[in-house]
Amino acid sequence: MRRLLIDTDTASDDAVALVMALQEPTVSVDAITVVAGNVPLPQAVQNALYTVELCSSGVPVFAGRSAPLMRRLQTAEVVHGKDGMGDIGLPLSGRTSAGNSAVDVIIDTIMGSPGEVTLVTLGPLTNVAIALLREPAIAESVAHCFVMGGAGSGPGNVTPLAEFNFWCDPEAARTVVRSGMPLTHIGWDISVASATFDPDEAAALRTCGPLGEYSVNIQAVLDIYAKEASGIPGFDLPDPIAMAVAIDPSIATTARRHVDVLIGDGADRGKDVIDWHGVADQDPNVDVVTHVPREAFVGMLHRLLAE
């Protein structure tokens, strides 16, 4: 059984990715660590705890950093709702996390089992960057790290060039990308290409049962934002398609490329720079996902939501 450690700024699409990992029989989840991003940290922790409870899982949830390394936190309630979960009235308060030691948990889990733990990151990379700064050896000890972040070969979703997770904490994203960890990059381009859900496709997801209903209902605000701002046919699920690749890497086509992250301001903030044609004379450091067949992702999603 592969062991996963999941770092998340839990909002509506993160929650579906958590459900997938908790439902997948071939993986076990050691812990869920939470970071500020889509919503402030306390709300993200509550959203993760609610989702774990919904799945009848005992996986511990740890709070981590409440702000990016060097920048003011800028959240995304306009995308995911005030509560990050579509503002549909879920009881997202009052649950208790396992502690505030997310960074220690990342270090201890990876260093305690060298080569055995796969890290999956679904939010800004603040927790992981701090873990790397404290214990650089986690870069060699982690089995692999799957990162949902960066715009890939497409446009950004928060600036014309940048994707939210990298933009929110660009210094952290750069720290992780440059760390030497074995990394797979799943950008927002992959989500737009293969993980959007129009009303008919959303209705089909609902037929999976209670977890299908949950997974669609919490996208209520994202669905409107996607159509009106992103110009896509309905909500998209970037974190779930990244989780699908983490669960079964064979569904993805990848290209080994050199990747870096810009840490300026304006258009330079958080842009992933992918050397597609090898013109920069730098060794490739990342497996960049270039394609995931929609059927493979949606098939896995239906299977896991129906279990």
- Catalytically active residues are 9
Q: Using DSSP, how many helices (H) and how many strands (E) does the chain show?
A: 14, 10
Q: Under rule CB under 5 A, which residues in 122-161 are in contact with Ca ion?
A: 122-123
Scanning 4-12, 20-28, 97-105, 270-278 for contacts with Ca ion by CB under 5 A, the matching segment is 4-12
Q: Is 197 in the site for ligand BDR (CB under 6 A)?
A: no
Among 83, 223, 239, 272, binds ligand BDR (CB under 6 A): 239
Among 7, 14, 163, 260, binds Ca ion (CB under 5 A): 14
Scanning 28-36, 127-135, 159-167, 254-262 for contacts with ligand BDR by CB under 6 A, the matching segment is 159-167
- For 38, the token pair is 């889509």
Residue 186 CB, shortest distance to Ca ion, in Å, is 12
In 3D, which of 111, 137, 120 has the Cα closest to residue 249? 120
Q: Mark residues 8-47: x for contact with ligand BDR by CB under 6 A, - for none.
A: ---x-xx-----------------------x---------
- For 29, the token pair is 């989840």
Measure the CA–CA gap between 108 and 66, rounded to whole angstroms: 20
First-to-last alpha carbon distance for the chain, in angstroms, is 18
CA dihedral 201, 289, 76, 233 (to 10 degrees): -30
In 3D, which of 218, 192, 193 has the Cα closest to residue 205? 218
Q: Are 149 and 163 in contact (CB under 8 A)?
A: yes
Which residues make up the interface to Ca ion (CB under 5 A)? 9, 14, 122-123, 239
Which residues make up the interface to ligand BDR (CB under 6 A)? 11, 13-14, 38, 76, 79, 122-123, 148, 157, 163-165, 188, 238-239
